[in-house]
Amino acid sequence: MSENVVPAQQPAQTAPDTGTGAAANIGVVGLAVMGSNLARNLASREGNTVAVYNRSHERTDQLLAAHPEAGFVAAYDYAGFAAALQKPRTAIIMVQAGRATDAVIDALAAVFEPGDIIVDGGNALFTDTIRRERAIRATGINFVGAGISGGEEGALTGPSIMPGGSDESWVTLGPILRSIAAVAEGEPCVTHVGHDGAGHFVKMIHNGIEYADMQLIAEAYDLIRHGTGAGPAQIAEIFAEWNRGELESYLIEITAEVLRQVDARTGAPLVDVILDEAGSKGTGVWTVQNALGLGVPVSGIAEAVFARSLSSHPEQRQVAGDLPGPAQTLTVPDEAAFIEDVRLALYASKIVAYSQGFDAIRAGAMEYGWRIDLGAIAKIWRGGCIIRAQFLNRISDAYAAEPDMPVLLTAPYFVEAFTRAQSAWRRVVAAAAGSGIPAPAFSSSLSYYDGLRAERLPAALVQGQRDFFGAHTYRRRDMAGAFHTLWSGDRSEIEADGTH
């Protein structure tokens, strides 16, 4: 055993020693809060002995001192870390996505051997994961990009985990990840999503849906705040009530907590003290960029990203404040009825956002050659992750009933929901528009829904315009082929190949 390895405290259950002195069956590199919590979660599961390494040794020592019960095997260099790990060595990198990830991969690749497994548990861009997996494949080392959702709390108590990577890596990794994942309906919230970057792609879409969900909730709050006399504390109770029904979800639950919070400094509701400029680490932007490239409309997610951007342009908002428009007040004759309308509009818009997200996963799988089981993704999102919600059971049911369903919205359960929510959804979007209250995710989701339903779309006119100025041709409803009108000539129509 390398002199740089501190042998594990004798935990209740020590991993079988393979005779090489290697005590640990899993290792974690990067011991910031997420990494430390994940290491603690791993160590708390029977059969796991966890090797830990951090560039700054103090953090390693702090973790061991704070959690002697975990039986960590501390390593103070990569050689020691490798020596501490049973083969096939398996290490999870929990460092800031980007160059730091590459540096750790290189360091591990130098001390790992063919068959070993390096897992990137950060929020890496899936194309980086594809590149990294391809680059390291020649060494025989398995590289796995794994989305890990649930924040610091989830890392400790049970996240939803979305690993990609090879089938070979999954043989070793599967049992370890199943031992730490959240459990929903008796099933661990982890599945082998698909090869190479599939896991990080699905995590990216998860984050995009998260943005949409958060924006829709924020719009619901804003409309109720404007349309009723309710303040944050009362609206918190409305959300708490909604969380006991079909909208039950982590984001609805924490929204009630945020709205209940009173600012200690001023005594005002905290939400009224927080600056209304939203930040973003960028995963929602990736979702929209990639969905655009895949030709998938993710209007709810895109409007959520745009809303964060708009909110973060105070210089424009400052000068636009005097633009003509209604006073952004909303008077409703029946507050209780309006609140129920908003709840139904939120539910309908949420279904649209999730449907669009799953469309993007399907399109990504086709583009990158992954075989992704959409029903399995819905299942592992039922627990542990930020978008965990009761209604993901309905999505997994829908895909179980019809795996190749062209669009989730047509699943019978959701058709029934849209039947119930229709009128309310339209009343709420109309009320927002009429009173000048921005509701971009609500209204874009309704327009997407109506676009899908429409028998004829004005895209026909767009095709005519494109043909007029760019001779881009168009197809006809009544016959096959591509056509062009001689707009600057006798306006006769020719076949795209020039024949009349």
Q: Exposed, middle or buried by CB within 10 Å (0-12, 13-18, 19+), for 240?
A: middle
Identify which of residues 151 and 297 has a Cβ nearer to ligand 6PG in the complex: 151
* Whole-number Å distance between alpha carbons of 379 and 475: 41
Q: Applying CB under 6 A, which part among 87-95, 100-108, 246-254, 277-285 lies near ligand 6PG?
A: 277-285
Identify which of residues 85 and 291 has a Cβ nearer to ligand 6PG in the complex: 291
Identify which of residues 143 and 250 has a Cβ nearer to ligand 6PG in the complex: 250
Q: Are 437 and 223 in contact (CB under 8 A)?
A: yes
Identify which of residues 166 and 280 has a Cβ nearer to ligand 6PG in the complex: 280
Residue nearest to ligand 6PG (CB): 149
How many chain residues touch ligand 6PG (CB under 6 A)? 13
Q: Considering only CA atoms, which of 294, 284, 307 is closest in space to residue 204? A: 284
Interaction residues for ligand 6PG, span 366-425 (CB under 6 A): 385-386
- Strand ranges, E, within 218-376: none
Q: Applying CB under 6 A, which part among 78-86, 241-249, 278-286, 311-319 lies near ligand 6PG?
A: 278-286
Q: Does 436 contact ligand 6PG by CB under 6 A? A: no
Shortest Å distance, C-beta 234 to ligand 6PG: 27
* Whole-number Å distance between alpha carbons of 54 and 56: 5
Binding mask 150-179 for ligand 6PG (x = CB under 6 A): xx----------------------------
Where is 367: in which H helix or E strand?
helix 335-368
Q: Does 207 contact ligand 6PG by CB under 6 A? A: yes
Q: Three-state DSSP class for 282?
A: coil
Shortest Å distance, C-beta 386 to ligand 6PG: 4
Binds ligand 6PG (CB under 6 A): choice among 283, 287, 443, 445: 283
Identify which of residues 161 and 339 has a Cβ nearer to ligand 6PG in the complex: 161
* Whole-number Å distance between alpha carbons of 347 and 344: 5
Q: Applying CB under 6 A, which part among 54-62, 280-288, 405-413, 420-428 lies near ligand 6PG?
A: 280-288
Where is 226: in which H helix or E strand?
helix 198-227
Q: Does 357 contact ligand 6PG by CB under 6 A? A: no
Binds ligand 6PG (CB under 6 A): choice among 157, 166, 280, 289: 280
* Whole-number Å distance between alpha carbons of 319 and 311: 13
Q: Considering only CA atoms, which of 420, 434, 443 is closest in space to residue 227? A: 434
Shortest Å distance, C-beta 90 to ligand 6PG: 22
Q: Are 102 and 21 in contact (CB under 8 A)?
A: no
Q: Which tokens belong to 41?
A: 């979660």
Q: Where are the alpha helices (DSSP H) in 44-125?
A: 57-66, 78-84, 99-111
Q: Does 129 contact ligand 6PG by CB under 6 A? A: no
CB atoms near residue 189 (< 10 Å): 27
Q: Got the DSSP string for 433-445?
A: HHHT---HHHHHH
Q: Give catalytic residue positions.
A: 203, 210
* Whole-number Å distance between alpha carbons of 148 and 161: 5
Interaction residues for ligand 6PG, span 133-152 (CB under 6 A): 149-151
Q: Three-state DSSP class for 163?
A: strand
DSSP conformational letter for 9? P
Question: Which residue's entry shows tokens 């799988």?
Answer: 365
Shortest Å distance, C-beta 145 to ligand 6PG: 13
Identify which of residues 142 and 290 has a Cβ nearer to ligand 6PG in the complex: 290
Identify which of residues 146 and 437 has a Cβ nearer to ligand 6PG in the complex: 146
Question: Which residue's entry shows tokens 């600012």?
Answer: 263
Shortest Å distance, C-beta 119 to ligand 6PG: 16
Identify which of residues 149 and 249 has a Cβ nearer to ligand 6PG in the complex: 149
Q: Applying CB under 6 A, which part among 45-53, 240-248, 279-287, 313-321 lies near ligand 6PG?
A: 279-287
Q: Are 379 and 396 in contact (CB under 8 A)?
A: yes
- Give contact residues for ligand 6PG (rule: CB under 6 A): 123, 149-151, 207, 210, 279-281, 283-284, 385-386
